Amino acid sequence: MKKHNLNSLNPAKFADLIKNRELSVSSADAAYPLAEFSPNTLANSLHPKKQKLRITEISDFKNCKAFKLSGQCACFTAGQYINVYVNIDGKVCSRPYSLASSPKDASDGFYQIAVKAVDGGLVSNYILQNWSVGTLVEVSDPIGNFTYEPLRDCKNVVGIAGGSGITPFMSLAKSVLEGSEDFNLTILYGCRKEEDILFRFELDSLAEKCDRLKVIYVLSEECKEGFEQGNISYELVKKYAPKGEFSVFICGPEGMTRFVDKELELLDFERKFIRHEVHGETVSPSNFEDYPQNVPEIISITVWNKGESKLIKASPAAPVVRILEQNGINPPTRCRSGECGFCHSRLISGEVFIPKELNKLRQADNKFGFIHPCCSYPLTDIEIEIS
Ligand code: FES
């Protein structure tokens, strides 16, 4: 190996350093070089802010469709989601959808997401009615923390899924099979009826091919041989959980998540081993026990955006972010459930209701009056400044 010896340096060269630099600067072209700084190009391709992908395949399920989005897909970690942007009557809205495909699929040029019909669901129903093979769609880069971390999570994971909450587990299961994740996954998948199960064929064939994967279907409204019946209780978790320590990952509708959380309290294991994926808005604040009574039927919101203000009158029964979007204002959003902090905005005056389980504000946010509009419901007239 070549050794650098300080004694071999010529101090005279340093005397000319400034002069030589000035010569280089003065002889350089005044035009800004067109070439891009290659680390920036690489960073943009790995983490593009937006991606344009084309729908190349649609699979139909009961009340749900799975879309294959093809193109140059940014890489991700199994369990993450993308935000989908749609323009409905001139108003841009976005919603997060977990990726059901694996990171390897992304490197092969596609993602897969599942969109379920929701009563009164603005974006989901728009997508189900308007997207077809060939449609060009705009999505964000993959984001989210519902991922397996070997330093934090146990080698054995019990995944509890409800309805379309199966999608991140599809991605995790495929990654275990493909070898990009190294843990054992037991999925307890709750649905109302057998016909409501999504990705049944794929889940069964994944479990067949890999002895690190197990899938148990739990039907709440049907009693059938080969299925567990009822809700996903702590007894059921105990029955299928592997021996020793295990982590629990939960993704599904609010009602199921709350039920499972209560059940898990009956099992003796540490809270740090429980992980949730709750992206997506809560439909109505009255679903929360601590939502106050006597909230006015109509409230005013004064919104400050880039130095300009707008006054909105609306029903308080929706999160602030949804009210803003309905009025043509698009604050930045990602998870829409208080998790990512992307919609962080300043509450100048007024009062909002933030459900306990969605309140991820930091002490500094409380001190300086910041909220997450995606999970804050106005209780009075409010004034807010969005970023
Ligand atoms: S969009 Fe993630 S916290 Fe509001």
pLDDT digits (tens, 9 = 90+) for 190-224: 999 999 999 999 999 999 999 999 999 999 999 99
Kindly report which listed range (23-27, 156-160, 345-349, 356-360) carries the lowest average pLDDT score.
356-360
Q: Say if ligand 1 is within 6 A of residue 338 CB.
A: yes
Between vectors from CA 229 to CA 223 and to CA 235, what angle results, nearest 5°? 160
Q: How far is the CA of 144 from the centre of ligand 1 (A)?
A: 11
Q: Is residue 11 part of a domain?
A: no
Q: Which residues have CB under 8 Å from 322's CB, separation 6+?
A: 281
Listed residues 277, 308, 323: the one ending a domain: 277
Residue 128, domain CATH:
2.40.30.10
Spatial contact of 230 and 220, defined as CB atoms under 8 Å apart? yes
Q: Are 160 and 179 part of one and the same domain?
A: yes
Q: How far is the CA of 281 from the centre of ligand 1 (A)?
A: 10
Q: Is residue 20 part of a domain?
A: no
For residues 380 and 358, give the distance between their C-alpha atoms in angstroms, rounded to a whole number.
20
Q: How far is the CA of 70 from the centre of ligand 1 (A)?
A: 26
Mean pLDDT confidence for 249-253: 95
Confidence of residue 279 (pLDDT cuts 50, 70, 90): low
Q: Is residue 31 part of a domain?
A: no
Q: Are 302 and 197 part of one and the same domain?
A: no
Listed residues 250, 277, 304: the one ending a domain: 277
Q: Are 135 and 106 part of one and the same domain?
A: yes
* pLDDT score recorded for residue 49: 85
Residue 283 has pLDDT above 70, yes or no: no
Q: Is residue 33 part of a domain?
A: no
- SS3 readout for 70-97: ECCCCCCCCCCEEEEEEEECCEEEEEEE
Q: Are 273 and 291 part of one and the same domain?
A: no
Mean pLDDT confidence for 48-64: 95
Q: How far is the CA of 376 from the centre of ligand 1 (A)?
A: 10
Residue 194, domain CATH:
3.40.50.80
Report which ligand 1 atom has the smallest distance to the Cα of 374.
4
Q: Are 291 and 329 part of one and the same domain?
A: yes
- SS3 readout for 5-34: CHHHCCHHHHHCHHHHHHHHHHHCCCCCCC
Q: Are 270 and 187 part of one and the same domain?
A: yes
Torsion angle defined by CA atoms of residues 316, 322, 328 and 333, in that order, rounded to the nearest 10 degrees? 140
Q: How far is the CA of 373 from the centre of ligand 1 (A)?
A: 7
Q: Is residue 42 part of a domain?
A: no
Q: Is residue 82 part of a domain?
A: yes
Listed residues 253, 277, 301: the one ending a domain: 277
Report which ligand 1 atom has the smallest distance to the Cα of 340.
2
**DSSP character at residue 361:** -
Q: Are 163 and 264 part of one and the same domain?
A: yes
Q: Is residue 2 part of a domain?
A: no
Torsion angle defined by CA atoms of residues 272, 277, 283 and 288, in that order, rounded to the nearest 10 degrees? -10
Q: How far is the CA of 234 from the centre of ligand 1 (A)?
A: 30
Alpha helices (runs of H) in the chain, residue ranges in sequence order: 11-15, 17-27, 38-46, 103-107, 122-130, 167-178, 200-209, 234-240, 254-264, 320-326, 363-368
Instruction: Count how many domains the chain has.
Output: 3
Q: How far is the CA of 132 from the centre of ligand 1 (A)?
A: 29
Residue 2 has pLDDT above 60, yes or no: no
237 lies in which domain range? 156-277
Report which ligand 1 atom has the smallest distance to the Cα of 343.
4
- The best mutation among 343, 358, 362, 370 to test binding of ligand 1, ranked by most ligand atoms within 8 Å of the C-beta, falls on 343
Q: Which of 182, 96, 180, 105 has the alpha carbon at shortest distance from 140?
A: 96
Q: Are 166 and 260 part of one and the same domain?
A: yes
315 or 32, greater pLDDT: 315
367 or 47, greater pLDDT: 367
- The best mutation among 85, 334, 359, 376 to test binding of ligand 1, ranked by most ligand atoms within 8 Å of the C-beta, falls on 334
Q: Say if ligand 1 is within 6 A of residue 336 CB.
A: yes
How crowded is residue 39: how many other Cβ atoms within 10 Å of its Cβ? Answer: 8
Confidence of residue 64 (pLDDT cuts 50, 70, 90): very high
Residue 333, domain CATH:
3.10.20.30
Q: Say if ligand 1 is within 6 A of residue 342 CB.
A: yes
Q: Are 175 and 272 part of one and the same domain?
A: yes
How crowded is residue 24: how many other Cβ atoms within 10 Å of its Cβ? Answer: 9
Q: Say if ligand 1 is within 6 A of residue 335 CB.
A: yes
Kindly report which listed range (173-177, 181-185, 239-243, 328-332) carries the lowest average pLDDT score.
328-332
For residues 307 and 226, give the distance between their C-alpha atoms in angstroms, rounded to a whole number.
61
* pLDDT score recorded for residue 29: 84
Q: Say if ligand 1 is within 6 A of residue 333 CB.
A: yes
Q: If DSSP codes are grouped into helix, strand and coil, which group holds residue 237?
A: helix
As a whole-number percent, the residues of the chain with pLDDT over 90 amount to 70
For residues 285 and 250, give the distance between their C-alpha atoms in angstroms, rounded to a whole number.
21
Q: Are 116 and 179 part of one and the same domain?
A: no
- Angle between the N-to-C axes of helices 200-209 and 167-178, in degrees from 0 to 180, rounded to the nearest 10: 30
Mean pLDDT confidence for 115-144: 94
Spatial contact of 59 and 129, defined as CB atoms under 8 Å apart? no
Q: Say if ligand 1 is within 6 A of residue 281 CB.
A: no
Torsion angle defined by CA atoms of residues 367, 373, 377 and 379, in that order, rounded to the nearest 10 degrees? 50
What predicted TM-score, i.e. pTM, was given to this entire model? 0.84
Confidence of residue 42 (pLDDT cuts 50, 70, 90): confident
Encoding tokens for residue 371?
């909220």
Confidence of residue 5 (pLDDT cuts 50, 70, 90): low
Q: How far is the CA of 336 from the centre of ligand 1 (A)?
A: 4
Q: If DSSP codes are grouped into helix, strand and coil, which group holds residue 58?
A: strand
For residues 349 and 305, give the distance between their C-alpha atoms in angstroms, rounded to a whole number.
15
Q: Are 328 and 351 part of one and the same domain?
A: yes
User: pLDDT (tens digit, 9 = 90+) per residue, 140-153?
Assistant: 999 999 999 999 99
For residues 110 and 113, give the distance between their C-alpha atoms in angstroms, rounded to a whole number.
10
Confidence of residue 269 (pLDDT cuts 50, 70, 90): confident
Q: How far is the CA of 168 from the centre of ligand 1 (A)?
A: 19
As a whole-number percent, the residues of the chain with pLDDT over 70 amount to 96
Q: If DSSP codes are grouped into helix, strand and coil, which group holds residue 188?
A: strand
Q: Are 187 and 273 part of one and the same domain?
A: yes
Q: Is residue 23 part of a domain?
A: no
Mean pLDDT confidence for 228-235: 96
For residues 177 and 161, give the distance between their C-alpha atoms in angstroms, rounded to a whole number.
19
Q: In what order do the strands lie in the sheet with 274-277?
A: 228-229, 213-219, 184-191, 156-162, 247-251, 274-277
- Across the chain, mean pLDDT equals 91
* pLDDT score recorded for residue 278: 76
Kindly report which listed range (32-46, 49-63, 131-145, 353-367) carries the lowest average pLDDT score.
32-46
CA neighbours closer than 13 Å in the CB half-sphere of residue 137 = 31
